[in-house]
Amino acid sequence: MTTVESPEVWTGNVRLLPPARLESELIPAAELGRHVVLIDALLATLYNGAGRYELALAAAERANESLKELGVSLLVLPELIEAASRCGMKAQGVAAFSELAEATKVSGTNWAMGIEARARALTTNDDTADCYYREAIDLFTRTGSSMELARTRLLYGEWLRRVNRRKDARESLRAAHEMFVEMGASSFAERAYRELLATGETVRKRTVDTRYDLTPQEAQITRLVSEGRSNVEIGARLFLSHRTVEWHLRKVYQKLGINSRKELKRMPQDGLCLSVSP
């Protein structure tokens, strides 16, 4: 069952279900009275990831009405602006940007300023959009917000393709695609993949099947875990801190669809997809 706290929701990693079915997947959380007003905000993210912009816009507008009263509309305004720009609803996007700019001014963090720069790029003309996309990418790189950075690279790549800068578009879209695949954000990865194809790029489709490929470091750590070694022991063997080992293990768990080292130990080594990626 998908809930508002599920990683699948935040990454957009939910299959393309009909609206009624998709909403029913989220309703159990609402019935528990937890984060009820976030349901539409989450749907907006899901639909934007899937490229279903009209549905994303409708969900974002509903969410904004509720969240505005609570003073936390910054949670959904980026989704509203993205969906409006893709639906050709410029006036709605500009109006939402005005609200967003007020909220980001109060915050003043790199993350908030990155959100504002990206939103400004979506609502401005082509002459100035480029510098705002670059500004957003720089700010999100500093914050370490991988999802926001990947989404910005995706939007930037889509814009570059539409202004016929195909070579630059491929670079940005390729980076976004790889990041989404690594995070398991399959809907966003599929959207980036489609855009890459539209640039004329020949792309190896790294999604459900190929994202199980482990890097050399991940493969080595996986083997040592299967031998029963602790994070401290693995770190000593590979000259890594135990925290770095744990970070790599989390990525392995995500790729293999498991949740613990106990599950990892139970997996047959010849059944693991250790076709090491470059």
pLDDT digits (tens, 9 = 90+) for 113-145: 999 999 999 999 888 999 999 999 999 999 888
**23 or 4, greater pLDDT:** 23
- Nearest 10 degrees: Cα torsion 109, 113, 119, 124: 160
More confident of the two residues 39 and 3? 39
Residue 204: pLDDT band (50, 70, 90) is: low
Q: Does the structure show a pLDDT above 90 at 227?
A: no
Quote the percentage of the chain above a pLDDT of 70. 77
- Give the Cα separation of 74 and 103 in Å (integer): 7
Task: For residue range 6-54, list pLDDT tens digits in order.
Answer: 444 444 444 444 444 444 444 444 443 345 557 888 889 989 998 899 9
Q: How confident is the model at residue 213 (pLDDT cuts 50, 70, 90)?
A: low
State the pLDDT at residue 132: 96
Higher pLDDT, 149 or 267: 149
Concatenate the DSSP letters of all residues of 2-33 into one string. --TT-HHHHHT-S----HHHHHHHHHHHHHTT
CA distance 79 to 18: 19
Task: Supply the angle between the helices 110-123 and 126-143 in degrees, to the nearest 10.
Answer: 160
How far apart (Å, rounded) are the C-alpha atoms in residues 170 and 175? 8
- Which range of 1-15, 97-111, 217-231, 257-271 scores highest in mean pLDDT? It is 97-111
For the segment 172-176, the average pLDDT, to the nearest whole number, is 91
- State both tokens at 176: 């976004």
Query: CATH number for the 214-271 domain, one of 3.30.420.40, 1.10.10.10, 3.40.50.720, 1.10.150.20?
Result: 1.10.10.10
Q: Which one of 1.25.40, 1.10.3470, 3.40.50, 1.10.287 gives the CATH number of domain 108-212?
A: 1.25.40
pTM above 0.75, yes or no: no
Given a cut of 70, whether residue 206 has pLDDT beyond it is no
Q: For 66-104, write each residue's pLDDT tens digit.
A: 887 766 778 899 999 999 999 999 999 999 999 999 888
**Would you state the pLDDT for residue 205?**
54
H/E run at residue 235: helix 231-238
Which is nearest to 182 in space by CA: 157, 211, 222?
A: 211
Output the pLDDT for position 183.
Answer: 82
At 268 the pLDDT is 60
**How many CB atoms are located within 10 Å of the residue 15 CB?**
11
Mean pLDDT of 223-238: 85
108-212 and 214-271 share one fold: no
Q: Give the separation between CA 157 and CA 165, rounded to whole angstroms.
A: 9
pLDDT band at 272; cut points 50, 70, 90: low
- In this model, does residue 173 exceed pLDDT 90? yes
Domain boundaries, the chain: 1-86, 108-212, 214-271
Query: How much is the pLDDT for 138?
Result: 94
Q: What is the pLDDT of residue 202?
A: 66
Say how far apart CA 184 and CA 196 lie, in whole Å. 18
Q: 48 versus 65: which is more confidently predicted?
A: 48
**pLDDT of residue 258 exceeding 70:** yes
Q: Indicate the DSSP class of residue 108.
A: -
pLDDT band for 5, please (50, 70, 90 cuts). very low
